Amino acid sequence: MATAFKSLASKLCGVIVRGHLTTKSYIPKAHLSVYNPKYVEPVLDKDTLSKGLEDDDIRHHRPVKAPTTDLSISPLFYDDDIRKFTNMMMKGGNKERVREITRRLLENIKHMQVEKYNKTATDEEKSQIECNPVTIFKQAVENCKPLLTTIRVVKSGVAYRVPICARPSDQRFRAMKWIIESCRDKERRIPMENKLTWEIMDAYNNQGKAVRKKQEVHRICESNRAYAHLR
């Protein structure tokens, strides 16, 4: 009886092997998510909500997740690209500060474009000026997205940089990262929102440091295209 009890205790509490405590848990892992897989994502777009649901829509019979705090605070952060950019720019968990920088960034872009619009004489030139800061931001990120990237492949002890097509999520991450890093490399005494405004406007016009980084990646992929078959 004592032997069986000791065996059970060693299984539950762990055994000491060579001075180290090795534990083997018999407790199943807890489900960390608040919602089980049956819940569907919420819809925040007003146009989509106004159309209603189709008869065969799964949301008639499935529960819907509550929107996160970011989505329910301000319509500004309904855009997924802006929320992603805000989270990537955050340091030390100071999200309120980063949100304020993002808000001022969009305000600066809006003021610059409206001022340019008012100074333009002809209607034809005015029609070519984009005044929506979110549209400008999205186009700037799009212009910085690399279509290709390289991976390290080892063949016969030799490492090659093999070009491959970049995934959409990787394209967006790299574009936003390059924009943020380009601004942090500039003069520290200049407010971050001003540096971001200049960099995004340059990227919108296919100029600036972030666009040059994308072009450099494409040049590296072009120089290594002979190794594309090694994937």
Domain assignments of the chain as residue spans, ordered by start? 84-230
Q: Comparing C-alpha atoms, which of 194, 101, 204 is closest to residue 143?
A: 204
Q: Which fold has domain 84-230?
A: Ribosomal Protein S7 (1.10.455)
Spatial separation of the C-alpha atoms in residues 141 and 135, rounded to whole Å: 10
Check if the beta carbon of residue 160 is closer than 8 Å to that of residue 230. Answer: yes
Note down pLDDT in tens along the chain; length 231 residues. 555 545 545 554 444 344 444 444 445 554 566 788 888 888 777 777 788 788 888 878 888 888 776 665 555 556 889 989 999 999 888 889 999 999 999 999 999 999 999 988 888 888 888 999 999 999 999 999 999 999 999 988 889 899 999 999 999 999 999 999 999 888 888 999 999 999 999 999 999 999 999 999 999 999 988 888 887
Spatial separation of the C-alpha atoms in residues 212 and 45, rounded to whole Å: 35
Q: Per DSSP, what are the bridge partners of residue 160? A: 153
Say which residue the tokens 């969009």 belong to.
106
Q: Comparing C-alpha atoms, which of 87, 108, 88, 131 is closest to residue 193?
A: 108
Check if the beta carbon of residue 145 is closer than 8 Å to that of residue 171. Answer: yes
What is residue 207's predicted lDDT score, i.e. its pLDDT? 92
Burial level of 210, CB count in 10 A (0-12/13-18/19+)? buried
- Return the SS3 of 209: helix
What is residue 48's predicted lDDT score, i.e. its pLDDT? 78
Check if the beta carbon of residue 22 is closer than 8 Å to that of residue 30. Answer: no
Report percent pLDDT > 90 for the chain.
Answer: 44
What is residue 4's predicted lDDT score, i.e. its pLDDT? 52
What does pTM read for this prediction?
Answer: 0.69
**143 to 17, 68, 206, 211: CA distances (angstroms):** 57, 29, 6, 7
State the chain's maximal CA–CA distance in angstroms.
97
Spatial separation of the C-alpha atoms in residues 132 and 150, rounded to whole Å: 35
